[in-house]
Amino acid sequence: MPAKLAERERLEARQSEPDFWGQPDRARQVIQQLKALNALVKPYEELQTTLRDLQALMELAGEDPSLEAEWASVLDKAEKQYEAFELQTMMSGKHDAADALVSIKPGAGGTDACDWAEMLYRAYVRWAQRHGYNITDVDEEPNLEGGIQSVSFKIAGPYAYGYMQSEIGVHRLVRISPFGSGDTRQTSFAAVDVLPDLPDDIEIVIRDEDLEVQTFASGGPGGQHQNKTQSGVRLIHKPTGIRAESRTARSQHQNKENALRLLKARLYALEEQKRLGDLVRHYDSKGEIAFGSQIRSYVLHPYTLVRDEREGIDVKTPAVQDVLDGNFDPFMHAYLRLKAARQNRTATALASTQK
């Protein structure tokens, strides 16, 4: 932590330089780095303050028993702050502090799956709002009968990607279908993909001859301007087949910028997977979005239960609506703890082989 404090002090000093605001790109990078550092350092400083208060109260309570209740309250506060700080320190990945680019696609289940994809989208928006993050839509393709065919959006805030990476995979919903006769239980699936929004100092080179640019009418509710112009943009990287779309902005130029940012993030993820030797299938594929591939199940009938299906994560709750209102934290925290434990075991094993 002393190194983090020193780094924050160094960056704050750069903000005081006379020409700081004269270089917008550099200023933006420094501000982003400071936000990420403060997201870690401030909980640490708050915890240190609470611990000092706790120590003082403990000494006073030894002389005045009436202060024991206040001491217990501060102790409870310290425990919660420590848990929050501990979770923050678990996000030490290269891009964990970055904003998150989230994509959701329906799988098996027809219109029910499209509706389920939209339900997940709303749930993540509510989660982001609970944590004070900003949400920007990048692309949304509605389904005529209900729900969405796909959606991509950005969650902006410190460690948004660090938290949201726990949601990557297939999500399964079991309920009475609102699109059927009213008595049929339906199982639907949707795939969630999450990428870090790459900092500007990471350069992803895409040659013009490798890029196919398609434009289309954006459509969408209330979009008279969009319906009449080819403002939607689809970018296809020919060598890999990876594509990215944007249609939510009013201008074609802005949609192209949004799509290019998403495409670069996907290409970067592909290269990282290659480097790690973990590319077993095409990046855009999450496998079959159907039975046997889910990371989490949401059951609304014949009982209510949300359960994480991943090995090593034992989290479940009957409060399905609470989760769909954005309370993903218990699942995210369990994932972060499991990830940290596995990383520690790997580091220990590597260290033992090098002795």
Q: pLDDT for 103-136, tens place per residue?
A: 999 997 789 999 999 999 999 999 999 999 999 9
Does residue 311 surpass a pLDDT of 80? yes
Per-residue confidence (pLDDT) for residue 181, from 0 to 100: 65
**Cα gap 293→96, rounded to integer Å:** 25
* pLDDT tens digits along 59-95: 888 888 888 888 888 888 888 888 878 877 787 777 8
Q: What mean pLDDT do residues 264-276 have?
A: 77
Per-residue confidence (pLDDT) for residue 84, from 0 to 100: 77
Dihedral angle computed from the Cα positions of residues 282, 123, 183 and 289, in that order, rounded to the nearest 10 degrees:
10
Q: Are 28 and 200 in contact (CB under 8 A)?
A: yes
**Cα gap 334→324, rounded to integer Å:** 18
Per-residue confidence (pLDDT) for residue 284, from 0 to 100: 44
Confidence of residue 20 (pLDDT cuts 50, 70, 90): confident
Of 263 and 299, the structure prediction assigns the larger pLDDT to 299
Does residue 151 surpass a pLDDT of 50? yes
Q: Out of 29-38, 179-188, 196-205, 286-295, which region has the weakest mean confidence (pLDDT)?
A: 286-295
Architecture of domain 100-198+288-349: 2-Layer Sandwich (3.30)
Whole-model pTM: value is: 0.76
Per-residue confidence (pLDDT) for residue 346, from 0 to 100: 63
Judge: domain 2-90, CATH 3.40.50.360.
Answer: no
Of 225 and 78, the structure prediction assigns the larger pLDDT to 78
Q: What is the mean pLDDT of the chain?
A: 82
Per-residue confidence (pLDDT) for residue 103, from 0 to 100: 94
**Cα gap 179→165, rounded to integer Å:** 31
Confidence of residue 331 (pLDDT cuts 50, 70, 90): very high
Q: Out of 1-15, 29-43, 230-244, 274-288, which region has the weakest mean confidence (pLDDT)?
A: 274-288
Per-residue confidence (pLDDT) for residue 348, from 0 to 100: 67
Which one, of 235, 236, 88, 264, lies nearest residue 162 by Cα? 88
Per-residue confidence (pLDDT) for residue 321, from 0 to 100: 96
Confidence of residue 283 (pLDDT cuts 50, 70, 90): very low
Does residue 43 surpass a pLDDT of 50? yes
Per-residue confidence (pLDDT) for residue 182, from 0 to 100: 67
Which residues are CB-neighbours of 285 under 8 A, at least 6 positions away? none
Burial 159-191 (b: 16+ CB within 10 A, else e): bbbbbbbbbebbbbbbbebebeeeeeebbbbbb
Residue ranges of domains in the chain: 2-90, 100-198+288-349, 208-275
Does residue 175 surpass a pLDDT of 90? yes
Strand 232-237: give its sheet, edge to edge: 211-216, 232-237, 243-246
Does residue 298 surpass a pLDDT of 90? yes
Does residue 50 surpass a pLDDT of 80? yes
Per-residue confidence (pLDDT) for residue 106, from 0 to 100: 94
Does residue 342 surpass a pLDDT of 70? yes
Confidence of residue 224 (pLDDT cuts 50, 70, 90): very low
Paired tokens of 106: 């329906």
Selected from 3.90.550.10, 3.90.1170.50, 3.40.50.2000, 3.30.160.20, the CATH number assigned to the domain covering 208-275 reads: 3.30.160.20
Does residue 282 surpass a pLDDT of 50? no
